[in-house]
Amino acid sequence: MRSKSIGDKIFDIINVMIMLIVVIVTLYPFLNALAISLNDAGDTVRGGITIYPRVFTLRNYELIFQNPLVYNAYFITIARTVIGTVLSLLLTAMLAYGLAHRNLKGRNFYTILCLITMFFNGGLMPTYFLIRSLGLMNNFWVYIIPSLISVWNMMLMRTYFQGIPEALEESARIDGANYFTVFFRIILPISTPIVATIALFIAVGQWNSWFDAFIYVTKQELKPMQSVLLSIISEARFAESIAQSAAGAGVTLGDVGRTAQVNVRSITMATMVVTIIPIVIVYPFLQRYFIKGIMIGSLKG
Amino acid sequence: MSSQTALQQPKVSNKKGGLTDFIKQIDLQFMVIPGIIWLIIFAYIPMYGVLMAFQEFKLGDFPGMSQWVGFKQFEYLFSDPNFGRVLRNTIVISLLKLIINFPAPIIFALLLNELRGKYFKQSVQTISYLPHFISWVVAATLMFDFLSVDNGAVNSLLMSLGLIDRPIHFFGEGRYFWPIAVLTDLWKELGWGTIIYLAAISSIDPQLYEAADMDGAGRFQKMWHITVAGIRPTIILLLIFTVGNLLNANFDQIMTLTGQMTNSLLIDYADVIDTYVYRVGLQQARYSYAAAAGLFKSVINIALLLGANKLAARTENALF
């Protein structure tokens, strides 16, 4: 290696400093939220909580988990993620598998039909009224059905399936297997990298989705976690109601105003942590597969 | 793209045996047909429904089947003073993001590439990708706290540096909204935006750097003439996509940061075409008018995409 010049060294130092600033600015809001969620609500109001709790408590989490609303919302989030991922993956993979076959009748027509939707869409108003006419308002299936296929994901899978040697399929076909058998018994098992990647794309999208619940669902019992968090940050009264209904008689009258105020911030942060914790837990895994997906996409493009 | 390679293949099937071929591969067709039916219902019916922009839609009508009124909704749209403001906000926010948030990941990727420690580099990458995986609801929750007037980190920092006397009410004044929209978007997507560039950088031939070393090229010369030159096609490709989405000013972000457009202090600066469609369409029940605003946006976006693609074609980097 050549010896480094002074200019090089200065550049390296500045570069490392820039990286540290990015890391701090990225992480600080998360760590601060975690610290507030684990800090005594009464103490938080004094201010100055940074990245560690000053008076450690799990009380904020107890408060939100005493609320049946939170359990229900969590159940809805898990249900939409699991059901949505399985069904969406199945339909997307089948379409991709079919379109990967050069001998598919009408392949060009189907492909063009798919590609057009990547550049044009009807927009909010016609979609909204379509959902209404289909009777999907205030219906759990509004989380699943309208988002079943993403053409982008389908294209990634199709590219992958096209790379599988045809001989593998042909030998099974000669033995008399139909395309469904080949797909489920041979193609899916050897395509785990792309299946896992697309499953994670869909699952994260489902977990984070909030707008469908916001415009199509008014029933509280059908709202997912994102909606609960959205209500908490939009209406302070919502957070108070969660805190108070749980706190019950434990709050003395003189404290009500102050405690309610304090609780809003603590409850918000605890709810936020509960909302993202599954994502953070699987994050290292998630990250690897997401990057893989992007790579397959960029190789194609 | 891939469909072109299919077209280049010699055509095996002949048109006459079409139906028998179709029946022979009926199981294969059954794998495709559910997806195609879904596309027709959830992509093509709304595309047809957008005709409601030229009609007078009433509740109970099916979109696209109401009485025709020609360009009336568009005449209302272009004479509405609110729409001028909406257009201004959309263009300003989008252009600011294009100018600042488009080059930022490129620069960040170049800097990451210059880092010497492998583990340090990986850690920075892993951490900087994290905000991409959270929803804008969560991101807004964090940003409300980060920028809070009451002990928020940014206000505390500015106060302790003596730059301000009183905490700034970031979400209480419209004039702060544009920088907030740009910077919170940068916070969320800066790291993730580097991935494609880092992939492109890793595929540059290392011999080019060795040859440049022989010629006595400096570090910045190598960064510019080899690295940046090597990822130029990627940059142009992503630029076409960004320009084609220019009028989509991140609906999720603006909705959540404005309390679903209930923060009236911000509306003069935050209302963009997408939020306007939501407000007039679903809150004020002016359905056809809102559809017209949405259609206007789509048409401009497609024109921008085609225009950008045409410009890129001159550098032989066109998308299609």
Cβ proximity of B265 and B174 under 8 Å: yes
- Which residues of B are less than 8 Å from A124 in CB distance? 274, 277-278, 281-282, 290, 294
Q: Output the CA–CA distances (angstroms, integers) from residue A151 to A88, A99, A147, in the order listed.
A: 11, 12, 11
Q: Hunting for tokens 């990727």 — which residue is that?
A: B109
Least CB–CB distance from A126: residue in B3, B52, B143: B52
Q: Is position B97 within any domain?
A: yes
Taking one residue from A and the other from B, the number of pairs with CB-CB distance under 8 angstroms is 282
Question: Do B197 and B156 share a structural domain?
Answer: yes
Res. A300: pLDDT tops 60: no
Check pLDDT > 60 for residue B13: no
Q: Give the gap in angstroms from C-alpha A125 to the nearest C-alpha of chain B.
A: 6
Predicted confidence at residue A232, as pLDDT, reads: 87
Interface test with B, best of A129, A215, A294 (most B CBs within 10 A): A129
Domain assignment of residue B55, given as a range? 15-68
Q: What is residue A257's predicted lDDT score, i.e. its pLDDT?
A: 47
B145: chain A residues, CB-CB within 8 Å: 29, 32-33, 36, 265, 268-269
Cα–Cα distance for residue pair A249/A253, rounded to 1 Å = 9
A47 located within any domain: no
CA of A171 vs chain B CAs: smallest distance (Å) = 17
Instruction: State mean pLDDT over B42-48.
Output: 96
Contacts of B141 in chain A (CB under 8 A): 33, 229, 233, 268-269, 272
Residue with the larger pLDDT of the pair A240 and A188: A188
Q: Provide the 3-class DSSP secondary structure of residue A56.
A: strand
Neighbouring C-alpha atoms within 13 Å toward the C-beta of B33:
8
Task: Please give the share of chain B, as a percent, with pLDDT higher than 70.
Answer: 93
Q: Which of A85, A300, A79 is nearest to A200 (CA)?
A: A85
Angle (CA) B194 A299 B12, round 5°: 160
Would you call A121 and B278 a contact, using CB atoms and an 8 Å cutoff?
A: no
Instruction: Give A-chain residues touching B274 at CB under 8 angstroms.
Output: 124
In which domain, by residue range, is A175 found?
60-301
Binning pLDDT at 50, 70 and 90, where does residue B317 land?
A: low
Domain assignment of residue A4, yes or no: no
Pick the residue from chain A with its C-alpha nearest to B183. Answer: A25
Residue B142, domain member (yes or no)? yes
Final residue belonging to a domain, choices B25, B46, B68: B68
Least CB–CB distance from A130: residue in B46, B143, B237:
B46
Alpha-carbon gap, residue B151 to A49, rounded angstroms: 9
Interface test with A, best of B133, B183, B250 (most A CBs within 10 A): B133
Nearest to B195 among A106, A123, A291 (CB): A291
Cα–Cα separations (whole angstroms), residue A194 to A265, B83, B272: 41, 44, 37
Residue B192 within a domain: yes
The answer to whether the CB atoms of B195 and A127 lie below 8 A apart is no
The pair of three-digit structure tokens given for residue B102, joined into one six-digit string: 């488009």
Residues 6+ apart with CB under 8 A from A32: A49, A50, A51, B145, B146, B153
Q: Do B281 and A148 touch (CB under 8 A)?
A: no
Mean pLDDT within B241-250: 88
Name the domain boundary from B27, B48, B68.
B68
Number of neighbouring beta carbons within 10 Å of residue A162: 18
Indicate yes or no: CB of A26 within 8 angstroms of CB of B130.
Answer: yes
A214-226 average pLDDT score: 95
Q: What is the pLDDT of residue A3?
A: 57
DSSP characters over A85-141: HHHHHHHHHHHHHHHT-TT-TTHHHHHHHHHHHHH----HHHHHHHHHHTT-TT-GG
Q: Å from A250 to nearest chain B CA?
A: 27
Residue A78 lies in a domain: yes
In which band, very low, low, confident or very high, does the pLDDT at B137 lie, cut at 50, 70 and 90? very high
Residue appearing with tokens 């016609």: A126
Identify all chain B residues contacting A27, using CB atoms and an 8 Å cutoff.
127, 130
Instruction: Please judge whether A133 and B282 are an interchain contact, meaning their C-beta atoms are less than 8 angstroms apart.
Output: no
Which band of pLDDT confidence, cut at 50, 70 and 90, is reported for residue B320?
A: low
CATH of the domain at A115: 1.10.3720.10
Per residue, what are the HEC states of B189-233?
A: HHHHHHHHHHHHHHCCCHHHHHHHHHCCCCHHHHHHHHHHHHHHH
Task: Give the mean pLDDT of B196-206.
Answer: 90
Q: Where are the alpha helices (DSSP H) in chain A?
A: 6-37, 41-44, 59-65, 68-99, 107-119, 124-133, 151-162, 166-174, 179-181, 188-190, 192-208, 211-216, 225-234, 236-247, 256-281, 283-300
Q: Is the pLDDT of residue A294 over 90?
A: no
Q: Are residues B19 and B81 in the same domain?
A: no
Are A22 and B126 within 8 A, CB to CB? no
Give tens-digit pLDDT for B121-131: 999 999 999 99
Q: What is the pLDDT of residue B218?
A: 85
Q: Is residue A45 part of a domain?
A: no
The answer to whether residue A43 is domain-embedded is no
Question: What's the number of domains chain A is made of?
Answer: 1
Percent of residues, chain A, with pLDDT higher than 90: 58
pLDDT at A252: 41
Instruction: With respect to residue B20, please indicate whether it lies within any of the assigned structural domains.
Output: yes
Whether residues B291 and A126 touch (CB distance < 8 A) is answered with: yes
Q: A39: helix, coil or strand?
A: strand
Tens digit of each residue's pLDDT (9 = 90 or more) over A242-264: 665 555 444 444 444 445 555 78
In the predicted model, what is the mean pLDDT of residues A205-216?
96
Give Dmax over CA atoms of chain A in angstroms: 82
ipTM for the assembly = 0.89
- DSSP-derived letter for residue B134 is S
Indicate if B44 and B186 belong to the same structural domain.
Answer: no
User: Are B151 and B274 in the same domain?
Assistant: yes
| Span A26-76, pLDDT tens digits | 999 999 999 999 999 888 888 888 899 999 999 899 988 888 889 999 999
**Do residue B162 and residue B41 come from a single domain?**
no
Closest A-chain CA to B185: A26
CATH number for position B158: 1.10.3720.10
Same domain, B78 and B64: no
Which of B18-27, B58-67, B244-253 is least confident? Answer: B18-27
Number of domains in chain B: 2
CB-CB contact of A244 with B106 (8 Å): no
pLDDT at A242: 67
Distance between CA atoms of A173 and A189, rounded to whole angstroms? 17
Out of A148, A209, A300, the one facing B1 most closely (by C-beta) is A300
DSSP B9: S
For residue B1, being part of any structural domain is answered with: no
Please name the residue of chain A whose CA is at the shortest distance from the CA of residue B4. A108
Q: Are residues B85 and B54 in the same domain?
A: no
For residues B54 and B165, membership in a common domain is answered with: no
**Which residue among B24, B47, B68 closes a domain?**
B68
Predicted pLDDT of residue B16:
53
Please report residues of B whose CB lies closer than 8 A to that of A98.
Answer: 28-29, 31-32, 35
Listed ranges A42-46, A190-194, B83-87, B248-252; the one with the highest mean pLDDT: B83-87
Confidence of residue A285 (pLDDT cuts 50, 70, 90): confident
Q: Please say whether the beta carbons of A205 and A192 come within 8 A.
A: no
Which of A125, A136, A143, A295 has the highest number of chain B CBs within 10 A, making it the mutation to test binding with B?
A125
Q: Which stretch of A155-169, B8-22, B26-40, B55-69 has the lowest confidence by average pLDDT? A: B8-22
Q: What is the DSSP string of B15-83?
A: GGGHHHHHHHTHHHHHHHHHHHHHHIIIIIHHHHHGGGGGEE--TTSPTT-SEE-TTHHHHHHHH-HHH
Residue B153 within any structural domain of the chain:
yes
pLDDT of residue B10 exceeding 80, the answer is no
